[in-house]
């Protein structure tokens, strides 16, 4: 790929990312359109296109340990900007999945805690119960009180429901999660 000869492990990493993201990394010509359009690039430790470079060089650990993959919010701006239809947002998703599965060092554990709280809510109710998500997240961060004023204000304006609303067909939701391997 791009004149670089990778060893077997590095090539496997490239293949895995391509398979999970349905993207062809060799299509990237590092034009920086994705990084230039990313609203969060200034807070990331490496630019989004550099993540592709890392993968192309077989730098698995560095890519999976990067803050970039966790600060990406999946807004798809980069994927829309890419002239070669490289789906950067899907690549970030693939790397997050791989980081979790491989127990990699998570650069932004708070983001993962929030992600887990959202996924847990959807798996149980088929919907997000925002109050519970916030409570679970704050609990995992051992920071129950820093936003209490905001929480009470939202409750008083009925922006947060005390009880979760649930979809009727919860079994279908749970079977989707089982198929994806997110819950046992």
Q: At what angle do helices 8-21 and 48-56 cross, to 10 degrees?
A: 140
Radius of gyration from C-alpha coordinates of the chain: 19
92 binds ligand SF4 (CB under 6 A): yes
Taking the C-alpha atoms of residue 151 and residue 157, their distance in angstroms, rounded to an integer, is 10
Residue 37: count of CB within 10 angstroms of its CB = 17
Nearer to ligand SF4 (CB atom), residue 54 or residue 86 = 86
Q: Which of 4, 75, 150, 152 binds ligand SF4 (CB under 6 A)?
A: 75
49 binds ligand SF4 (CB under 6 A): yes
66 binds ligand SF4 (CB under 6 A): no
Q: Which of 55, 88, 94, 106 binds ligand SF4 (CB under 6 A)?
A: 88
Taking the C-alpha atoms of residue 120 and residue 8, their distance in angstroms, rounded to an integer, is 36
Nearer to ligand SF4 (CB atom), residue 8 or residue 42 = 42
Taking the C-alpha atoms of residue 182 and residue 96, their distance in angstroms, rounded to an integer, is 13
The interface with ligand SF4 within residues 9-38 (CB under 6 A) comprises 28-34, 37-38
55 binds ligand SF4 (CB under 6 A): no
Total residues contacting ligand SF4 (rule CB under 6 A)?
A: 27
Residue 9 CB-density burial (10 A; 0-12 exposed, 13-18 middle, 19+ buried):
exposed
48 binds ligand SF4 (CB under 6 A): yes
Taking the C-alpha atoms of residue 52 and residue 58, their distance in angstroms, rounded to an integer, is 10
Binding site for ligand SF4 (CB under 6 A): 28-34, 37-38, 40, 48-49, 52, 72-78, 81-82, 84, 86, 88-89, 92
């Amino acid at each position: 790929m791009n004149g670089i000869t990778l060893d077997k492990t590095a090539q496997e990493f490239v293949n895995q990312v391509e398979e999970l993201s349905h993207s062809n990394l060799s299509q990237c010509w590092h034009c920086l359109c994705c990084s230039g359009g990313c609203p969060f690039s200034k807070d990331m430790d490496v630019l989004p296109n550099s993540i592709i470079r890392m993968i192309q060089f077989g730098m698995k650990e560095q890519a999976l340990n990067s803050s970039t993959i966790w600060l990406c919010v999946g807004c798809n701006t980069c994927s829309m900007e890419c002239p070669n239809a490289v789906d950067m947002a899907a690549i970030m998703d693939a790397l997050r999945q791989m980081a979790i599965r491989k127990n990699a060092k998570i650069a932004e554990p708070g983001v993962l805690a929030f992600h887990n709280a959202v996924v847990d809510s959807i798996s149980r109710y088929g919907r997000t119960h925002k109050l519970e998500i916030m409570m679970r997240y704050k609990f995992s961060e051992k920071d129950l009180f820093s936003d209490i004023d905001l929480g009470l204000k939202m409750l008083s304006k009925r922006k947060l429901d005390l009880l979760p609303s649930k979809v009727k067909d919860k079994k279908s939701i749970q079977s989707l999660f089982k198929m994806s391997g997110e819950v046992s």
